[in-house]
Amino acid sequence: MGYVKGMARGLMLFLLTILLLVTGVTAAGLPPEHARAVEIEVVAGQTVVWVVDHADHTRVQVAQERFAVMPAPMFEKFVALSPDGQQVAYVTADDLMMSNARLWVVDVESTQRRLLAVFRHDFWVAPLVWDPDGRYLAFIRVGRGDTLELWTLDAHTGGQRLVSSVVLLRPERFYGFAPNLVRWSAEGPYLAQADFGVASPQADLPCSVSLFAQNDPRWRDNVMQTCDMTIGQAGCALTSSAMAFNYYGATTDPPALNTCLGDYACPLYWSIAAGTCSQGRATWLGRYDFNWNRLEQELAAGRPPLLGMEKDYSHYVLVVAGSGSDPAGYTVHDPWDARVRNLADFSAWSFEWLVIYGGEPWCGWPPDAPALLEPAADAALDQHTVAFRWQPSGTPGVDGYTFRINHSADPEASPLIEDTDLVSATVAYTHTLDSDGSYYWHVRAWEEDRPSSWASRFFLVDTTPPTSSVAPLSSTMASNYFVVHWSGSDTLSGLVDYDVQVREGTTVTWTDWLTGVTAGEAWFLGEMERTYYFQSRARDRAGNQEVYPGGDGDTHTAVTLCVPDGYEEDDGPASADLLAVGEVATQHNVCGTGDEDWFAFDAERGKVYLLRALNLGPYADVVLTLYGTDGQRVLGERGGAGVGIGHWLAWRAPADGRYYGRARHAVGEAAGSGLTYDVVVMLGGLVFLPLAFR
């Protein structure tokens, strides 16, 4: 990337609206038409992030950062809206090499942001990806030896965890129009086995144009002379030149070009680069002020220009297609991350220069690899006979294809399960595999003696259903409200979800309780003096579905008759049990649906009192309500803190008198002798902030 500039250029308003729609994801509880989106706009020297609900016509600003630390369009890929539409993650950094990259998360409703992590020098230019629950973010960072690693970050705590170090994950997989490889499944994040060497579509030029990234971990830290800056920091012109030289037939890349240029790499001497380092394939024709007519003419002549631009930074891209005077009509190769972008993405920048190299376009390279269609990348299949299909190579004159299957990402690795040559008209092939397992399929085109690169994909064959079961329950249950656990396993493609059924007694048929759930537990609410049977089944990613065990299922439990506590009848203020301050009323229970336990206490004006529910049983979740001296006017309430968790309600007495408290279960129909708790009224200190002041 070019040098950081000290002043913003003008006070112009550039609107760069990028709709990052979450396809198929909506805010929790909202219908699809309420799906939220993110918009990014650049206003003078600021990058502003908005969350827009188009159905409700609302627009909330969630971030505003200096353009220098959040430049568009490069950092757009780091803006991620959570699946429920409630959080936005984004990244800022000290420079375009991602030094001191800071990962932020913003709550959409409150617009409060939190700094989750700072990465000194190892955050890589791959998109952020939320998990389906909006709790974790997956991202790529650079590990030791310049390998790429998959990590997750907890958006609640900021905790980070290494998922895997993928030595074979080449940076080229993120180039061009390549889809993001980071995905989530029921087991967690993973890296999809995407196509190798995803290239850009054929440009409006006689030959295709290579893609290089200045931030490629293999050379981003290489120092350029004489500015002593790295390729990652200031190598956009050098990287764009390497792409242009390859177009003209030179076999070079950014580190090789940097070495060849020596003291002339930074600032880059255009004429020396072409004359000395293009292997005689390119000449330098000049550097000109930006002009739409010249840009169009150079492309029409088969010469892809380098376009220089400024906004807080200087930056060069290689223009590979287009015409006219509308930026939206042009396609560029951005050396920052080797992405193919539309020139309109850079509308916030000022276009300044055109650098022109000339030469004879070199189309004599091997043919383009075919595009693989089916099975999809990382597919999981439930049968051994597999139909493979690909799109023909875009290079005219292809003579045929080589098709292979093995167990490795390397097409040459043995054993080759299938290895056959096919005529050029063939775009499909069917093969029957002997067994379940993990496989790769590979296809390459060939013309005369020049084969293309291999197009490769990973897939699984899994014909075995997963297994699952509901964990054993106790033979009897002193509560009609209890938690049920289940779990499962799958040896190959991995679990996707579960169905759980319930049956009451021995004569009633099984009914669906939960379907398509990914969790491993849920709370069940039944009736008193009933016996309940439970069974589960699981599905895997290949579509295999387990058969229910049948019979009496996996486990059962009998809900026992409720025995009232010794305080009954205390179901209203008239029958409330009088408690002395500090006296603990022990072993209350919720016996009968809707059971309420009332108590009374005498309070003195100005004193602070604490109403506490404590020593809760494993199924109890108590709600405390405070009433005035009439037993009717509500002075305060504290909702349940969760099953088995005690809590308190603090209150300052406005006058002397007898006041009333009520305890009930947070789940209105829950009942049972096992729903136990203690209650006490205590004097509190001034350190407690009262929750009720009535």
CA distance 59 to 364: 52
Residue 312 exposure: Cα atoms within 13 Å on the Cβ side:
19
Task: Kindly state the percentage of the chain with pLDDT values over 90.
Answer: 74
Which of 454-458, 470-474, 664-668 has the least mean pLDDT?
664-668
- Short-list 314, 307, 296, CA closest to 355: 307
Of residues 397 and 462, more confidence is placed in: 462
Torsions phi, psi for 602 (to 5 deg): -95, 125
Inform me whether the pLDDT recorded for 165 exceeds 80.
no
For 300-330, write each residue's pLDDT tens digit: 999 999 999 999 899 999 999 999 999 999 9
- Short-list 526, 533, 528, CA closest to 509: 533
pLDDT at 70: 93
pLDDT at 11: 31
For 122-160, write each residue's pLDDT tens digit: 999 999 999 999 999 999 999 887 788 899 999 999 999
pLDDT at 641: 78
pLDDT at 574: 93
- Alpha-helical (H) ranges within 181-336 are 231-234, 236-247, 254-261, 270-277, 292-300
CA distance 110 to 65: 18
Inform me whether the pLDDT recorded for 685 exceeds 80.
no
CA distances from 91 to 67, 78, 102, 412, 552 (A): 12, 6, 5, 40, 54
Which of 61-75, 195-209, 448-462, 665-679 has the least mean pLDDT?
195-209
Burial of 299 (0-12, 13-18, 19+ CB in 10 A): buried
Task: Supply the mean pLDDT for the chain.
Answer: 88
Four-point Cα dihedral 109, 113, 119, 122, nearest 10: 30
Quickly tell me which residue has 């739409």 as its tokens.
Answer: 292
CA distance 694 to 692: 6
For 263-284, write each residue's pLDDT tens digit: 999 999 999 999 999 999 999 9
For 227-267, write each residue's pLDDT tens digit: 999 999 999 999 999 999 999 999 999 999 999 999 999 99
Q: What is the pLDDT averaged over residues 106-114? A: 95
Residue 181 exposure: Cα atoms within 13 Å on the Cβ side:
26
Residue 225's pLDDT band, with cuts at 50, 70 and 90, is confident
Q: What domains sit in the chain, N to C, each tagged with a CATH number?
A: 13-191 (2.130.10.10), 223-359 (3.90.70.10), 371-460 (2.60.40.10), 467-559 (2.60.40.10), 573-684 (2.60.120.380)
pLDDT at 694: 36
Quickly tell me which residue has 């003696």 as its tokens.
Answer: 449
Strands 608-614 and 330-334: unpaired
pLDDT at 687: 42
pLDDT at 691: 43
Residue 203's pLDDT band, with cuts at 50, 70 and 90, is low
For 347-373, write each residue's pLDDT tens digit: 999 999 999 999 999 876 678 899 999
Counting other chains too, the contacts that 271-278 makes at CB distance below 8 Å and 24 or more residues apart are 273/238, 273/241, 273/245, 274/245, 274/357, 277/245, 277/250, 277/252, 278/245, 278/248, 278/250, 278/252, 278/357, 278/359
Burial of 484 (0-12, 13-18, 19+ CB in 10 A): buried
Torsions phi, psi for 547 (to 5 deg): -90, 135
CA distance 142 to 138: 14
Of residues 180 and 484, more confidence is placed in: 484
pLDDT at 373: 96
Other beta carbons within 10 angstroms of residue 557's beta carbon come to 20
Other beta carbons within 10 angstroms of residue 425's beta carbon come to 9
Inform me whether the pLDDT recorded for 19 exceeds 60.
no
CA distance 244 to 282: 9
**One-letter amino acid of 669:** E
For 252-263, write each residue's pLDDT tens digit: 999 999 999 999
| 457-249-391 Cα angle (round to 5) | 30
* Most confident listed range (209-218, 432-441, 583-592): 432-441
How far does Cα 579 stand from its chain's mean position?
A: 54
Q: For 85-131, give the secondary structure using H, E and C.
A: CCEEEEEECCCCCCCCEEEEEEECCCCCEEEEEEECCCECCCCCEEC
Residue 197's pLDDT band, with cuts at 50, 70 and 90, is very low
- Short-list 412, 430, 432, 413, CA closest to 422: 430
Strands 476-477 and 555-559: parallel
